[in-house]
Amino acid sequence: MENDGKKSTALISNISKTFNTNKVVDNLSFSVMPGEIFGLIGPNGAGKTTTIRMMMDIIKPDSGEISILGKNLSEDSKDKIGYLPEERGLYKKLNVLQSLSYLASLKGISPTIAREKTEHLLNRVEMLPHAKKKIEELSRGMGQIIQFLTAIIHDPSLIILDEPFANLDPVNTELLKEIVLELRNEGRAIILSTHRMNEVEELCDRILMINHGRNVLYGELSEIKSRFRNNSIFLELEGDPGELTGVTGKRDYGNYTELLLDGKTAPQQVLEQLISQGKNVNRFEVSTPSLHEIFLQVVEEGQ
Amino acid sequence: MNKTLLIFRHELVHTINRKGFIIMTLIVPALALLAIGVFQLVSTISKPAVIETITIGYVDEAGGFDQHASQGTIELVSFNATEDVTAALTNGEVSEYFVITSDYISTGVIYRYTLEKELETPQPIATAIKNFLTSNLLSGKVHFEMIYRIETPPYLVVTRLTETGEVASDQGGFGNVIIPGIFSLLLAFSLVFSSNYLVQGLGDEKESRLIEVLLSSVSPRQLIIGKVLGLGVAGLVQVAVWLASAPLLLKLASSTFGGFISMIQLPANFLILGIVYFILGYSLFAALSTGTGAISPNAREGQQLAMIYTLLAFVPLWFSSLLFLFPNSPIWVALTIFPITAPVAVMLRLGVSDISAWELVASMAVLVFSIIGVLFLVTRAFRTYILMYGKRPGLREIVRSLRQA
């Protein structure tokens, strides 16, 4: 698949997976482009982890195809992908340097480069003084940062992050977000799987929401949000707005008023009417539901 | 570097650096050294400075038993009446006494009286009394050399011949059993330890969820082969250390156990069969342990499950005393062919009796087919169960998954 002349980093076509009699992923298709952060969201048990595991070739789909950088998924593809699983785990008895070097070598990085990259990344996250510490001696947050580094040490083209900010303090959360945005700007494709909708709104360019293993929302985040727009306006002004063409109702919230539109009138037309009437407008906001609200609405509809 | 090699190297280094591995590797020669030291210490302490002479009283009611009263370190003193000898016993003049009744020649009964509580008459005393009686009965009737030969049992020198009448290279005997016996014990231990390390390693990686990170970099096949080879070589290192310490220990032991060590010899084909059965045995146990590690939610449960087959490996050793009594029993043939007991059973039997060629062929064939079969099932189950956390699947569920895989 191509988008604006760019080839997709990951292309997933009609994949399905059934465990015993339970269809966990059902005919799912999507693509992830270079230089974008792609949100993979859905309620618990929706099939997100199974989808990710199929993309990592940890489990095989029953049907459908997965292609990474234009090639069918194979063992070689694994070296192009960085993966931070939701369930974290490292060798507790190894030190930070040994852990990072060993896991980098399994991604095809030579020991010398692995060491250089390890030191560079540890310096980036200000953890170089802890390089010789055993993993079991690190705090949970530090361990999580090391695990994050194992996902990016080999310069992957596709980075899959499953709940990367869970259990991190605000300082480390900001540090990781900063690195994620840097990686996006370097042109890497990033899949962010999370339950935190504010993070998706903050970071993601496009999203895929799955429920019961099926695609229920897919596309540009801004386009999806406008699709779920309530067709109303939040208005704060001095005095009463009076009669306005295209407005079918009003809800008074004290400090501000919500104007309900008839569906044919654009918010811009309402604003023009207010200005022409000489009203002093303090706030004019097109009402858009948060992703959290959209998530709840879509999940409820799917029940 | 090849990813299988990377995992192999990591597992090997990781395993031989483990405290448990180092302790187990060193403890076997250390225990042997300790046993030799303790034996030497005890024998030095208990060695009498002066050989003590024991005095035994006797009453001769039959008559004619008055010569040959000195029997090595035992002196026999005649008394006229039982009252006298009983008084001598209670006074401590004699340590015990016996009565030769008047009808001894027809009945052969000798009544022995002692202050000690014992299971049976001590061998030196029984021999001294027997030789005293025989010497007196035959004295003057036959030549003294004849008397000595009657009293001293024959010394059998056995030579085993081949079917063509030549002296066989493998002469058998207890000296032949020592090395295979020790090796079978070490083999069983090595199989158990290696299995435990494999199950524990997989269990830990599964429990810490590290397995997901590893499988995002390597295939299950690379992971399994790398682990199995790494732990296999670690097991070989362990056995090599044990075997390398053997010459030193034997040298030390020879001063303690004397001529017994010179009896030791290796049965024919021992080295070749030892290596073949180590490799086949290890491969089977490694395949079983990989499957056990895959289906167990954590290391502890995995090790409990692995006990089932690791304990079975010791079965031939439990019954090894029966092997000396019934070396050709069909049970030994069964243990030789049953794949889990085969490696240890073959090593044990090699020292005691011949194993027919068909048994060896059948045993190796069954082992090879078992390894292939178990590996086939394990690779099918691995992807399904290695990422399943929580409860261990039931047998029915595993069978269903294997059918679907």
In angstroms, the CA A270 to CA B148 distance is 135
CATH of A10-225, one of 3.40.109.10, 1.20.1740.10, 3.90.1530.30, 3.40.50.300: 3.40.50.300
Which stretches within B2-143 are classed as H helix?
A: 3-16, 19-46, 82-91, 104-107, 123-138
CATH T-level fold of A230-287: Alpha-Beta Plaits (3.30.70)
Which positions in chain A touch B400 (Cβ < 8 Å)? 20
> What is the helix (H) or strand (E) element at residue B78, kind and residue range?
strand B74-79
What is the strand order of the sheet A81-84 is part of?
A: A81-84, A158-162, A189-193, A37-41, A206-211, A214-220
**CB-CB: which of B208, B217, B387 is closest to A106?**
B217
Burial class of B128 by CB neighbour count within 10 A (0 to 12, 13 to 18, 19+): buried
B216 to A89: CB separation less than 8 angstroms, yes or no = no
Write down the mean pLDDT value for chain A: 86
Tell me which chain B residue has its CA closest to the CA of residue A58: B215
In angstroms, the CA A125 to CA A121 distance is 6
Q: State the span(s) of chain B assigned CATH 3.40.190.10.
A: 54-151
- Here the tokens at position A8 are 């997709």
In angstroms, the CA A119 to CA A126 distance is 10
Give pLDDT, residue B46. 66
Give pLDDT, residue B390. 57
Burial class of B155 by CB neighbour count within 10 A (0 to 12, 13 to 18, 19+): exposed
In angstroms, the CA B22 to CA B14 distance is 11
- Over residues A120-127, the mean pLDDT reads 90
Give pLDDT, residue B60. 92
**CB-CB: which of B212, B216, B383 is closest to A78?**
B216
Give pLDDT, residue B278. 85
At residue A134, the 3 state secondary structure works out as: strand
Residue A257's DSSP bridge partners are A235, A252
Residue A6's DSSP bridge partners are A3
Question: Does residue B219 sit at the A interface (CB-CB below 8 Å)?
Answer: yes
Q: State the span(s) of chain A assigned CATH 3.40.50.300.
A: 10-225
- Here the tokens at position B261 are 């060590």
Tell me which chain A residue has its CA closest to the CA of residue B384: A59
Cβ pair A30, A207 in contact under 8 A: no
Q: How does pLDDT run across A153-187, given as a tens digit for each residue? A: 999 999 999 988 888 889 889 999 999 999 999 99
DSSP secondary structure letter of residue A80 = G
Q: How does pLDDT run across A268-277, given as a tens digit for each residue? A: 888 888 888 8
- Here the tokens at position B130 are 């027997």
B216 to A60: CB separation less than 8 angstroms, yes or no = no
Which positions in chain B touch A75 (Cβ < 8 Å)? 218-219, 222
**CB-CB: which of A58, A60, A87 is closest to B215?**
A58
Residue B76's DSSP bridge partners are B56
Q: How does pLDDT run across A252-298, given as a tens digit for each residue? A: 888 888 888 887 888 888 888 888 888 888 888 887 777 777 888 77
At residue B298, the 3 state secondary structure works out as: coil
CATH architecture of B54-151: 3-Layer(aba) Sandwich (3.40)
Question: Does residue B90 sit at the A interface (CB-CB below 8 Å)?
Answer: no
**CB-CB: which of A79, A103, A108 is closest to B213?**
A103
To the nearest whole angstrom, how far is the Cα of A285 from the nearest Cα of chain B?
Answer: 46
Give pLDDT, residue A2. 47
Which positions in chain A touch B216 (Cβ < 8 Å)? 56, 58, 78, 81, 83, 85
- Over residues A41-52, the mean pLDDT reads 88
Among B9, B22, B200, B216, pick the best mutation site for testing chain A contact (most A Cβ within 10 A): B216
Question: Does residue B212 sit at the A interface (CB-CB below 8 Å)?
Answer: yes
Give pLDDT, residue B140. 82
A106 to B212: CB separation less than 8 angstroms, yes or no = no
Which positions in chain A touch B7 (Cβ < 8 Å)? 106
Give the dihedral sign, CA B251/B255/B260/B263. positive
Tell me which residues of chain B have a pLDDT lower than 70. Answer: 1, 46-51, 169-176, 253-268, 387-395, 397-405
To the nearest whole angstrom, how far is the Cα of A79 from the nearest Cα of chain B?
Answer: 7
Q: State the span(s) of chain A assigned CATH 3.30.70.100.
A: 230-287
